[in-house]
Amino acid sequence: MPVPRSLEDKLAGLLVVRLGNNLPPAVTASEQEAEVAALLDRYAIGGLILFNGRWPDTRDTLTRLQARSERGLIVATDMERGLGQQVTGGTLYPHAAAFGRLGEPETVREFARQAALEALACGIHVTFSPVVDVDRNPDNPIIGARAFSDDPETVGTLAAAFVEGVHDAGQLVTAKHFPGHGGTTGDSHSETPTMDDDRATLDTTDLVPFRAAIEAGVDLVMTAHIVYPALDPDNPATRSSAILRGLLRDEMGFQGVVVTDSLQMAGAKVDGQSEADLAAELIEAGVDLFLDAVDPEALIEGLAAAVRGGRLDEALVDAALARVERLRDRLRRQLGADVFRQPPAGAEVVRAPEHVALAERVARDALHVARGPLPDLGDGTGALVVLVKPAPRPNEPVTMPMGEAVARLLPSAVYRELEPTHEDQDEAFDEIRLLAREAREVVVATIARPAAWSTFGLEARERRFVTRVMEANPTTLVVLGDMRGLRGYDACKAALVAFSDVAASQVAAVERLARGGG
């Protein structure tokens, strides 16, 4: 790459800025192209984090933005469930917990390879996955089905397979959230949680899969905005030299790039401190890449002032930038000199039939009858199927995939959907109560998904309603999430757990209900 022409160029190379937004008001990646292009015209930004894309429009947007970057933009996205998680039109695979239920490393490796190929076809070079947190706290509100397992060794084995699969395709891979988010009761999007376990416990739980990922050659490690008093009593991991330099680099031997989790999360912030002053502390602690700054321009200018004022050693900036440049060089070696000009994989891989088939197979094989037997619904005659959702995500269809599957496989069933923003909520509740009293079989499906800046699972009012329906009518529960979705629903007569709420899992659950039995 060209030698940075200024201190600001150097510092801009440490930023990964947002393109698109899933949060209200949602903005597609293409809709934000002009704003990001204007920023690129002012600063030599290092990379982009993509949200809310569309295939193939997002590919074309990224190609145009790359043309404005002399440095070459490293494009990343959260794709724990494949390209389809952030780019509509890509394959969407079940959550990691579904793969953990199968426990097949080769299946995880193939999933990771397929997903990485689709991402490369879109111009995305880095996956911010896998989640290598151990799902060891049932009260954790944000990890849940995003984790492979509650067993550290299983998580480590599957995480290593994931790293290998991504590398098979040529993409770069990130382990998150170091040194572990699975044991918290808080969500670092909305607070700074504290993990009070001693070092011996961390060594045998949370750190196990990170060691496995590092041994497998993971390229980046993402920090957790969490305090671990046994490792550093004063600072969350993102701001801790003891954790990032002492534990991660010196003790565990990681030589790759340390990237923050989003700087827009509450756990990243310090009251009364500017984002630039915080960023200076993060570089000193061992951070290389800043993810998703609130104000990229102010951060760059503030860091430059800190260097010029002697408050930040420029040698630390140079060392961080050198590690980031090694990622860029690796991409050029693996995928060609034009990797930042043209997507390094063909469009035909996006939603390829074998990719869809794997997602569907994992969804089917992961299903678990937690309480049974399941009812025989036949063609659906006399059956009521209700899908109860949390607040809707951007671009959700009018009828969810479960509804389409019910219409196809249980054509005589009555199907309803319910969510907190439902108009005439009381009327909807009353209608479902009446339908349930008249039904031969009642099936209630609940979506229990972790999501950033959102309540886990259903809102309280919907939970109470579901419980009352179960108490008044023999009900089969379908959990479109992990096992914690069973909690509080002891009144159900049967239960099916899907370990994910993606379309393939919704359809697989209806297919299983259509068969009935144990």
Determine if residue 74 is left, alpha or beta; phi over 0 gives left, psi from -120 to 50 gives alpha, anything else beta: beta
Closest CA to 99 of 138, 154, 169: 154
CA atoms of 456 and 140, how far apart (whole Å): 9
* Enclosing H/E stretch for 213: helix 207-215
Given 9, 150, 187, 261, the catalytic residue: 261
Candidate list 95, 125, 177, 189, residue with the active-site label: 189
Asked if 368 is an active-site residue, the reply is: no
Stretch (H or E) spanning 384: strand 383-388
The beta-strand segments (E) located in 126-246 are 126-127, 172-178, 220-223
Can you tell me the distance from the alpha carbon of 160 to that of 210, in angstroms, rounded to the nearest whole number?
9
Cβ(121)–Cβ(347) below 8 Å: yes
Binning the chain into helix, strand and coil, the percentages to the nearest 5 are 45, 15, 40
CA distances from 281 to 46, 305, 311, 313, 509 (A): 20, 14, 10, 11, 48
Token pair listed for 127: 């996956």
Q: Are 74 and 13 in contact (CB under 8 A)?
A: no
181 catalytic residue (yes or no): no
Give strand pairing partners of 388.
Answer: 418, 446
Residue 492 and residue 454: Cα distance in Å, rounded?
26
- List active site positions: 189, 261
